[in-house]
Amino acid sequence: MSTRVLPRLRTTAAATLAGVLGAFLAGCGIRPTEVPTDYGAAPSRASCTLSAPETGARSAEDGIPVQIFLVCASQLVLADRSAQLPERPASADRLRVARALLDQLERLPSATERQVGYTTDIRRLTVRGPRSGDPTDTLRLSTAPEDLSAFALAQLVCTYANSAAADDRGGVTLGGPEAEPLRRYECPAEVRSRPSTEAPPNTVVERD
C-alpha cells in the first residue's frame, strides 16, 4: 500500500515546490518559463581601460604624439595618437593642427580599443580656417556645430580645446559653412563625463 502512496506524495511535493518557486520568481519580477532557454552569457559592460598603452616604436615618419577624445560607455576618454605636425605648434599652425586631429577622430579605433568599448561619432567632416570678418582663431566646419550629434560635438570641442587648436583661454571658436553666428566652446569636466546630456558651454562671438 505504501508503494501506491509514495508516487502521489512525490507528485504533491513537486507541485508544492513548483508553486513556491513560481511565487518567489514572480515576487522578484521574473516570469517562470515552461521551456528551457539558452541565450548565452549576459553581455558585459565596456571596461574602457586598455591593459597597456599602444605605444610601440615610433619613428619620425609617424609624427609627434597627440591626444584625441573618443567615446566609451557614454563618456569621453583620451586616446593617444601621432600626427605629422611641428614639434611645437604655434597659433599660425591652428588650422593644420585642427585638420590633423579631425583626421584622427574620423578613423576607426584600433582593434584593441574597440575590444574595450572605444568608438567615435565623427564622420565625413572637414574643417577650414576663418572667413573675412571672422576672428583669426575661428575654425569653420563643413557641418554646423549645432547639427552634429551630442557625442560628435563633445569629441571635437574637447579634442580641440586640449590642443594647439585652442585659443589662449583653452576654448575653441567654431562655425559652420553658412552665415550662422560663430560660437566659442569650452570643455569642462561635466561634458567629458556626460557628453550625451551636457552640451559644451558656448557663447556667441561677434564678427567684424
**Mean pLDDT, all residues of the chain:** 81
Determine whether 143 is exposed, middle or buried from the number of CB atoms within 10 Å of its CB (0-12, 13-18, 19+): middle
C-alpha 79/C-alpha 71 separation (Å) is 10
Q: What pLDDT is attached to residue 179? A: 87
**Is residue 86 within 8 Å of 93, Cβ to Cβ?**
yes
Which runs of E-coded beta strand occur in the chain? 64-72, 75-83, 127-128, 138-141, 172-175, 182-185, 202-205
pLDDT digits (tens, 9 = 90+) for 157-179: 999 999 999 999 999 999 999 98
pLDDT digits (tens, 9 = 90+) for 22-66: 444 444 443 333 333 333 333 446 789 887 656 544 555 678 999
Residue 155 binned pLDDT confidence (cut-offs 50, 70, 90): very high
Task: Identify the DSSP state of 128.
Answer: E
Q: What angle do CA 131, 132, 137 make, to 5 degrees?
A: 55
pLDDT digits (tens, 9 = 90+) for 63-95: 899 999 999 999 999 999 999 898 877 777 999
Q: Write down how long the chain is.
A: 208
